[in-house]
Copies of this chain bind each other. A is one copy, B any other.
Amino acid sequence: MPESAADWKAALREKGYRLTPQRELILGAVDELGHATPDEVLAHVRQQVSTVNASTVYRTLEVLEELGLIRHAHLSDRAPTYHSARGHEHFHLVCRGCREVISVDAATAAPFVEVLGARHGFTPDIGHLTVFGRCRNCSPPEEP
């Protein structure tokens, strides 16, 4: 579960991880960017420190996700995007027409979760869910 903004550093150490400037920068970048791909995170971090490497970004995102500080979702068929896990759990609606991303509170999916549990014994990870479709403005198909 999301650690409070104050003690994530303690959480790091408890797991034997170390606190490095790169890790702070990358976590900060994810917070600031909202939904960002590893590449976007890298670009953002490099505005502050030029010597950060792509592999560090990948490795760090993995660690931060393991700690529950960030989460990822697949908002395109390309790279995943990462976002902060503090705040309410939510899932995403992505419009195929205009690419808009709508964040929806996990509670909205509660009945759906119920059904999947009851009928299939399945416990969904709603925070990872991405639903593709069309938003109000793009209702008539205009992209395959």
**Interface residue ranges, A against B (CB under 8 Å):** 66, 74, 77, 80, 93, 95-96, 102, 104, 108-109, 111-112, 115-116, 119-125, 128-129, 131-136, 139, 144
Contacts and interface: CB of A to CB of B under 8 A. Distances in A.
30 contacts: A74-B74, A93-B120, A93-B122, A93-B124, A96-B125, A102-B122, A104-B119, A108-B115, A108-B119, A111-B111, A111-B112, A116-B131, A116-B133, A120-B135, A120-B136, A121-B135, A122-B131, A122-B134, A122-B135, A123-B133, A123-B134, A123-B139, A124-B131, A124-B132, A124-B133, A125-B131, A125-B132, A125-B133, A128-B132, A129-B132
A96 B128 CA distance: 12
Given A95-B122, A120-B135, 15 more contacts: A93-B120, A102-B120, A104-B119, A108-B116, A108-B119, A109-B112, A116-B131, A116-B133, A120-B136, A121-B135, A122-B131, A122-B135, A123-B133, A124-B131, A125-B131
Contacts of A131: 116, 122, 124-125, 129
